[in-house]
Amino acid sequence: MKPALLLLLALTQVGADKQVAFDWVNRNAAAIERVSLNIWDYAELALREFKSSRELARWLEDNGFRVQLGVAGLPTAIVAEYGSGAPVIAIYGEYDALPGVSQKAEAKRAPRVEGGAGHACGHSLFGTASAAAAIAVKAAMGRGGIPGTIRFYGTPAEESIGGKNYMLEAGSFEDADILLGWHAGDASAADFDYSKAMVSVRFRFKGLPAHASTSPHLGRSALDAVELMNVGVNYMREHVREDARLHYVISDGGGQPNVVPGAAEAWYYIRANKHKDVVEMFEWVSEIARGAAQMTRTEIEITVDDDSHERLPNRPLAELIDANLRLVGAPTFSATEKEFARKTQKSLGRTFEHALSETIQPLPDQPEQGLFSTDVGNVSWQLPTGSLTVASYTHGAPGHSWQIVACSGSSIGQTAIAVAAKTLAGSAIDLLANPALVKAAQSDFETRREGYEYRLLLPSGRKAPQFAEPSRTEGR
């Protein structure tokens, strides 16, 4: 057996420090659930996570962390830390919800607020478990003997503009040695894969409004430009790589039918397995947009909101997380929870072998290719990054679905939190206590990024959109 594996086996035992961390998670189960359900209840959209960020910031501060809220020009971004010096082991969490997927914690489609937001990506679980993991590590560090700094990054707006990129540009990650995270899923596994690269871009057309019946010849329709652009892109689809994804919404289509729209906008996500291919497609789509502007005699403004490279995998971190996940064990669910999940599967149109996953997937020998995109991608090219997925919702449920919202607000999601928090805490303790693990992760990181051309389409000096908080009502 390789020496590195012997070291890994020795580290991933429930020693005294890990036991303290795991015990903290067990003792504080009620508080963890309260924070999670509060954030689920708030269901705040990207850059509007005011209550959610305060909930986490207060919790961390109450547990002895030095907390900054409102970093990198993002009012809802958090940096919280405990300890001092190297190594700096960081855990990140997200807490933004998605529009249009409001859902009660029920096994049938039942919006809490018609047309409202909901945690259809499980971020209410994500932010809570990551913060809990950081606090649990702090409890272990309180015994003495564990050097360094444990840090929590609260990263807003993952679902839209990519809050981590603003934090990265502001230098928030500069002195961190390792970044750990997790995500809700329908199965449990240490992540050893690439994500897709993605650019989020808005094409804003400006025309001339006019009466659509009495003087249409005097108008120049921005909506015509949007529709012509979309037709062009849809013809483009035949000639892109198999791994490409092009999807859009018309985010502004005008006011009413009897007015020639003077302004209109199409919002695109352009994805591919490799960032260089995203850049190529972005340039092609932009040419189509400029052609649509010429055809309609309108003006075009192209704004890149987010540009994220594919997430870089890290083998030593994947092995460490896998070992700690197996030490903790996959979540186990009650008969009532399985019955709940089975009911949510009925609308999915097929039969599933099980309702909820209670096993751990094997760690692949080589990195796999995911179909998702994430703003942690750019961070992963700046420092070694590792993560895991924990079964948190109905097996087979599609991403961004009401089933995920329902499970996140039920005991199913809360069961997953404990597994995620303990796995992250155990991995962080190993990294803090063993410089060789940090060095191995950094060596793998340097090897994988060697020769990579890191280029961003984001404009320099940009500032995040700002939103006013509707109210300061606290609590659930």
Is the pLDDT at 3 greater than 50? The verdict is no
Question: Which 3 state secondary structure label does DSSP give 374?
Answer: coil
- Strands across the sheet containing 178-185: 66-69, 78-84, 148-154, 88-93, 178-185, 385-391, 189-190
Residue 182 phi, psi dihedral angles, 5° rounding? -155, 175
Task: For the domain made up of 3-192+313-449, give the CATH fold.
Answer: Aminopeptidase (3.40.630)
Mean pLDDT of 193-207: 97
The alpha carbon of 34 is separated from its chain's Cα centroid by a whole number of angstroms, namely 22
Is the pLDDT at 1 greater than 60? The verdict is no
Taking domain 196-308, whether its CATH number is 3.40.109.10 is answered by no
pLDDT band at residue 6 under the 50/70/90 scheme: very low
Beta strands in 413-473 (DSSP E): none
The predicted-structure confidence for 96-105, as pLDDT tens digits, reads as follows 999 999 999 9
d(CA 217, CA 214): 9
The predicted-structure confidence for 354-405, as pLDDT tens digits, reads as follows 999 999 999 999 999 999 999 999 999 999 999 999 999 999 999 999 999 9
In terms of Cβ atoms closer than 10 Å to its own Cβ (0-12, 13-18, 19+), residue 377 is buried
pTM (two decimals): 0.93
Residue 88: DSSP 8-state:
E
Q: How far apart are the first and last CA of the chain?
A: 53
pLDDT band at residue 472 under the 50/70/90 scheme: low
Angle at 240 between CA 237 and CA 246, to 5 degrees: 55
Q: What is the pLDDT of residue 7?
A: 53
d(CA 163, CA 167): 7
The predicted-structure confidence for 11-50, as pLDDT tens digits, reads as follows 556 789 999 999 999 999 999 999 999 999 999 999 999 9
Q: What is the pLDDT of the chain when averaged over all its residues?
A: 95
Residue 277 phi, psi dihedral angles, 5° rounding? -75, -35
The predicted-structure confidence for 135-152, as pLDDT tens digits, reads as follows 999 999 998 889 999 999
d(CA 271, CA 247): 9
Q: What is the pLDDT of residue 145?
A: 87
Is the pLDDT at 289 greater than 60? The verdict is yes
Residue 430: DSSP 8-state:
H
pLDDT band at residue 427 under the 50/70/90 scheme: very high
**Domain boundaries, given as residue ranges, for the chain:** 3-192+313-449, 196-308
Q: What is the pLDDT of residue 470?
A: 85
Is the pLDDT at 8 greater than 70? The verdict is no
Cβ neighbours, 10 Å, residue 62 = 11
Question: What does 228-256 look like in DSSP terms, one character per residue?
Answer: HHHHHHHHHGGGS-TT-EEEEEEEE--S-
Beta strands in 381-420 (DSSP E): 385-391
Residue type, 473: T
